[in-house]
Chain A
C-alpha cells in the first residue's frame, strides 16, 4: 500500500528564514512524488514533481525538493520565506500507472514578521 507521512503538523518560521518540510513515503515501486500548496480558500496548486532523473527538483515560487530513495524521503525546501508562503503544504505519492494520489496529512506553515 502507498502512504505518505508528514511528521510536522505545524511549522512557524520567520520571514526571510529558511524552510524545510519533511515528507516520508511508502510505495512498492518507483514513486512519482509531488508537493502541493493550499492557500486559505484556494485549491491545491502544484509546486513541483519528481518522476525520475536528477534527484533535486526545482519548482515554482522558489521551492525545491530532494528525492532520497535510501531514506524514502522527499523534503521540500525554500532558502528564504516570504509572508505569502503561509499556507498548507501537502506531499503526495503515486506511480506511472496510478490514477490517484495518496496525500499526506499536510503541514501548516505560519510566517511571522
Chain B
C-alpha cells in the first residue's frame, strides 16, 4: 500500500456520461498530480494541484476538470465521455510541488462503452 488511495478501482460507463475519480494523497503530502495511461499515448500528465490551488496543466481536455479540496483530496471529473477516454487514470502525491518524490496510487481503470 503506497498510501495514495484512488477510488473506484474500476469504472464502466457509457459514452456521453460523466464520472468522478477520487484521490486521497499520502498523509502529509500537499501536492496531487493526475496522469492518464492509455495504450496509444502512454503516460501523460494531466494536471497538478498544490495545497488546494491549481499549479500546472498538461494535456488535459476541456471536457476534463479537477479540484483539490481543503482536506487535500482531489477529484478528477470527466464529462461527455468518448470511447477514447478509456484508460487507466493515476493519481500521485508528493510533499512538495516538484516531481522529485512522487508516490503513485494504484489507479482507476475507466472503460467507456
Contact = CB atoms under 8 A, between A and B. Distances in A.
A32 B101 CA distance: 11
Interface string B70-113: 00000000000000000000101000011110111111000000
Q: Is the interface of A mostly helix, strand, loop or mixed?
A: loop
Interface of B: 2, 4, 31, 33, 42-43, 45, 48, 55-56, 58, 90, 92, 97-100, 102-107
Interface of A: 32, 36, 41-46, 49, 51, 90, 94, 96-101, 103-106
A89 B74 CA distance: 27
Contacts of A99: 31, 33, 48, 55-56, 97-99
A103 B45 CA distance: 9
A112 B2 CA distance: 28
Given A97-B98, A99-B97, A105 B42 contact: yes
B95 to A, nearest CB: 13
Given A98-B98, A100-B33, A103-B43, A45 B104 contact: yes
